[in-house]
Amino acid sequence: GITCTSEPDVKGNIIEAINYPVRIFPIGRLDKDSEGLILLTSDGSIVNRILRVENAHDKEYIVHLSSSIKPDFKKKMESGVEIYNPVRSEMTKTLPCRVKIVNDTTFIIVLNQGLNRQIRRMCSALGYHVVRLKRIRIMNFQLGNLKKGEWRELSSQEVTELISLLKHPSR
């Protein structure tokens, strides 16, 4: 239910929710109906390096559907799905991704792309409805045991690792 924006005029924004003592902003976004890991930073120079598709930084999600997964679902998702791109008012095919079926209605997906509501739109295009979507990893950062609304600062080792990963994309 939090809006992933640093715009102060947007009620219920992530910056308001975190109430951090210095100016920070989110790297990427989660839609209001989703939950999970999001990185926040005060260093604007790293944002595009993390988000650029060509840098191939993984984002991993666990997705729960309202109906059973059919046998061809994994192959269709992994090869890319035609979805409507509202920015360009045209259909676009998503980039290949990795999918692991967890059970009858749950799967894990790893994307390098980050289109608006991408997973929900991919599933919808294949006839499925997402009932819960949770981001569990960005690059090498895991959500771990953090609960909804909890946050923590990166350790100095994690910051060093992040800077190293950003110097060497596609790792």
| Residues with catalytic function | 31
Q: Provide the CA 103 distance to its chain's centre, in angstroms.
A: 21
Rg of the chain in Å (alpha carbons): 16
Determine contact, residues 65/73, Cβ cutoff 8 Å: no
